Each structure stands twice: as C-alpha cells, then as structure tokens.
A and B are shown apart, each in its own frame.
Chain A
C-alpha cells in the first residue's frame, strides 16, 4: 500500500495494468475447455456429498436402516461437553459404524441447534423452557427429555481466602451486589470479584433461579452488573486460582485442586455440606441439578441404542469417573 505524498503512482498503475492484460490473455489460451468439463462435475459432486452428510446427521434412524455409517450431532451444554465426549468415544469404540460429533457452546446453543435440526441430541444443564418448546413445535420438533446424570455446582474461591462456608442467602447477596467486601462475611478486607458463566450457559440460568433468587419464581433479582461473565469454565477456574478477591461457580466435574470449594448450607442454622457424590445423591448439598439430553421425539434406532447405553452401568460409570453423579435407574 502506498499512501502519502506520491506522484509516480498513476504511471506505475498504468504499466502494471497492461502487463496484467497480457498475462491474462496468455493464460486464457492455456485454459482448455476440457478442464472445465472435468472440474465442474467434481465440484458439484463435492457439494452434493456435503449436503448428503447433513441429511444423515438429521436422520440417524434412516441411515441405520440403509446399513451405512451413522452420524449423530451432539451439541449443547459446556458443563456436559467432556462427559458427552467420553460417552461418544467409548460408544464409538464399541460400535465402529457409529460416529458421534460432540460440540459445546452452551445449553441454549444446543437447544437452538435441535430446533434448527442441525443436531440430533441437545445436551442441557437446565430444563428446556416453555418458549423453546413452543418454538420447537413451530419447526415440527417434539423435544423429548432424558435425565442422563446429575451435577453439583461447586462454589469456589482462591486458596488464600480464609472463608470456608457460606449460606445460600449470603451467596445471593454477594452475586446481587448487596455484599461487596469479604470483610462483611467474616473475611479479609478485600473487594469481592464475582465470576459467572455467560448468559447462554445453563449453569448461569440455574444459578440465577436457584441461588440468586433462592428458588422463588416471583423474585426478579438479577446478577449485579459488575459480575464478570467469562466465556468458559476454564476461564473461571484460572481467574479464581490466581485472584484472591474472586468467587466463582462451576460444575463439580471442572473443579480442580488449585481452588478452594466452599461448603454450602440452605439457611443459617442448617448444616453445611461440601459437594460430592454422596451429598448430592442424598440431596444434602443444596445446589445440585439434573443434566438432560433432548432428542426430537421418542428416540428410535441407533439413537435409542446410544441413549440406553448412556443409562447403562457402563455409561454411568463414566459419569462417576468424571466427577458427576450417576442417576439411579
């Protein structure tokens, strides 16, 4: 690029222009029609193939009948993405004719993909909303719900922070902005930096409804505006690990040894519980929820086999290995 006080630019362009014409004329001689005749069908073929793949992704049942490879698109909750990946990998080892592609993006993203027919399974860390069901029905989709695992949401802080336990009410006051300094709840004199997942995360919505609003549907309290909305679970873990002011929440499966997990009680005067498989199974830990997979209508064919396998002993073994809580069937 030439900018500034230049005066020879016009001439230069003129010279380049004639050279270009000559070059193009020469190359036009070289291009024979034959090449076009060969390339065009090839190109069309590629387009057709990619199109067919998409079709198969949407109709796993049909593909199974025709005896070819079965493609499934599994999309949604970031909380579940590791779990879904492990399931998909193990299942593909057992059934080489099946290929399952797993992507995250958040529960909302997954459900949107199910509605737009670009995914055959939507992973969800919250229940599907009435509006989403309505929208799905409008597009000819009947969302079918299956609880595939349970998850506890761990509240985490930096290891240097002396706080060990909080009540749900305190958590609600922190995230709605009523408590702004750790000293107000018996900690050091430090500002509280609140971390949350983005609003497209099922975990965000669950935390809003069950913790900030304490499960009260008429409560309209929301996250205070200065809550940091981070795009990934890892982002939250990194910031909590490094920053002694920070508080965050994340699925139990993501929590590492680098951060401190808080014990939570439902109300002051009630006992505090740390999140783990036992406390979640006995419904003692107050911030636990179901994890879902949604399909279009009652699953059939290969899709049904896959979902059955997920609920089998082997599938649920993986749930436990990854720090989630198995569902009792």
Chain B
C-alpha cells in the first residue's frame, strides 16, 4: 500500500516537473498570441502611413510610433557605447589581472549593482546625474537620452561583466601557458589570445546586456524627459526623447480597452518583443556556433 502510494506520488511529481518545464514554453506562446491578438488590429485601426508618421499624441489620435522606436534605439545605442567598453574591460581586469582576493571581492560587488532597483537608479538620475549633466555640458535640460544611457549602462554593466568574466575564465589555461611560453607579454596574451578565444561568450554577454537595456522602463521614464521628438542627428543623444517602454508604461493605465490607442500600445509591445526576440536569436546563434566549433577542436 505504502509502496503504491509512493509510486503514485513519484509519478505525480515527475508530471509536475514536466509541466513546469513545458509551462514556460506555454506562457511564452500565450504571451505571443496575446500580443499579436491585441496588437495586429492596430494595423486596421490606424492607416499604415499614420502609424509610421512622426508625431505621437494619442489625445488627438496621432499615433506616429517612429519617434518612439528611434528613441528606444538611441538610448540603447548610448548605453552600449558606455557599457560595452566599460563592462568588457572590467571583466578582463577581474578575470586576468586582478589578484585572486580582489577579484573575489569585486565580482560580487559588480553583481550587486544588478540588484539595484531601477526606480532607485531613476531617482539618482533625477536628483544627481541630470542636474550635473545640464551644468557640465551646458544643456537646456538634463533630462535627455544621454542621461538615460548613462544609467542604463549601469544596468547593463553587471550582466556584461558577469558573463564575460565567466567566458574568460573558461578559456583553458593551456592557451595562456602556450602564449607565455612563446615569450609574449601579459597584455599581448590578453588581447590576442584570451579575448579572441572567449569572444563568443563576450558577444553573448554584450547582447544580453543590451537586451536588458532596451526593455528597461522605470529609469528611462524618469530621466529621459519623455518628449516624442524625432531625433534629427547624433546630437539627439543630448536632447529629451521618449522610448517605447515609457510610452506603454505611462499610457496603458488610462486607455480604454479595445480602442485604437489600446491596440497601438500593444503593437508597440509587439515591436519591443520582436526586438528582444531578435537579440535572443542572435545570442543563441552565437552560442550554438561556439559549441560546434569547440566540438571541432576536440575531435
């Protein structure tokens, strides 16, 4: 009797774990279905020309999403300019140069930065970063795309550092030993042996870090000014912009279900989803490629 009940519980638990495994796929599919179901009607509610026009002002039924898409891209680009060099170099320092005890303190500290709530970052942005940038760069206002980029860089850096450092650590010691044996200096080894050997892991780290920045909402909503301006040139980095995420977050609460505005907001969500999907596909491409290559080396 007891053995039988054990068998049943065991089977139940196996089924439960199976369900949990499949449920994440199910949820993603359901979310995708929902996004398409609610977002695609936007294409029928709003003429395509209007949807891709240059003015976003939903009160007057102006649903031009181009400035929002460009706004998100500019902030992400700015964040990558800051986070990529900074993150990769920090990872190199921790993995290759820092003494063991320092590396053991530094890595958890950098990862602690990842746990900082984005609303706290936004708060720091409003009170410290934005006034500072306005004074130093002599801008009309400190609430700009660049302010957002700086803070989002701070969000992306821990991801980039953590994953790049793992990738660097996974480069076999024999690679470095071989390099040193040829009489190469430490710097030359890092730049021409270790980093190239770990480049796929580093690329994955960069893509994942940037994937985080494009979806970040609270910080950008607080510090970028949310003005739906069409970015005209590179100088737009130092002007207020409005991102897709901030638009959805600030307008979703107000909108009447089923209205064109509602559908357009879901359509924006769909575009965001496609952006992050693209990032993830690139990441998985990079890591599967890497597996094949290491298999080739081993065989």
Contacts and interface: CB of A to CB of B under 8 A. Distances in A.
A28 B9 contact: yes
A4 B171 contact: yes
A21 B131 CA distance: 56
A226 B222 contact: no
Contact of A229 (B197, B204, B226): B226
B140 A245 contact: yes
Given A4-B166, A199-B59, A200-B251, A228 B294 contact: no
Given A106-B253, A225-B55, A243-B141, A31 B9 contact: yes
Given A112-B253, A228-B240, A5 B170 contact: yes
A235 B200 contact: no
B230 A225 contact: yes
Nearest to A180: B140
Most buried by B among A24, A229, A231: A229
Contact of B131 (A28, A208, A242): A242
Interface string A176-205: 000000000000001101000011100001
Range class of the A interface residue count: 35 or more
B225 interface: yes
A28 B294 contact: no
A33 interface: yes
A242 B250 CA distance: 24
B270 interface: no
Nearest to A25: B10
Nearest to A221: B60
Contacts of A106: 253-254
B223 to A, nearest CB: 10
Given A112-B255, A231-B250, A225 B227 contact: yes
Contacts of B226: 198, 228-231
Range class of the B interface residue count: 35 or more
B227 A28 contact: no
A24 B163 CA distance: 30
Nearest to A113: B253
A230 B220 CA distance: 11
A295 interface: no
A315 to B, nearest CB: 27
A135 B60 CA distance: 18
A239 interface: yes
Given A208-B59, A228-B143, A243-B141, A5 B250 contact: no
B294 A7 contact: yes
Interface in A236-272: 238-239, 242-243, 245-246
B240 A226 contact: yes
A226 B227 contact: yes
A242 B139 CA distance: 13
Interface string A216-232: 00001011011111110
Contacts of A7: 294, 298
Most buried by A among B9, B126, B290: B9
Contacts of B257: 116
A66 interface: no
A29 B4 CA distance: 11
Contacts of A25: 10
A220 to B, nearest CB: 7
A191 B140 contact: yes
Given A200-B251, A242-B134, A243-B141, 15 more contacts: A2-B166, A2-B170, A3-B163, A4-B169, A5-B170, A5-B197, A5-B294, A31-B9, A132-B256, A238-B126, A238-B127, A239-B126, A239-B141, A243-B131, A246-B141
10 contacts: A5-B197, A28-B6, A105-B253, A132-B256, A225-B67, A225-B227, A228-B227, A239-B143, A242-B142, A243-B142
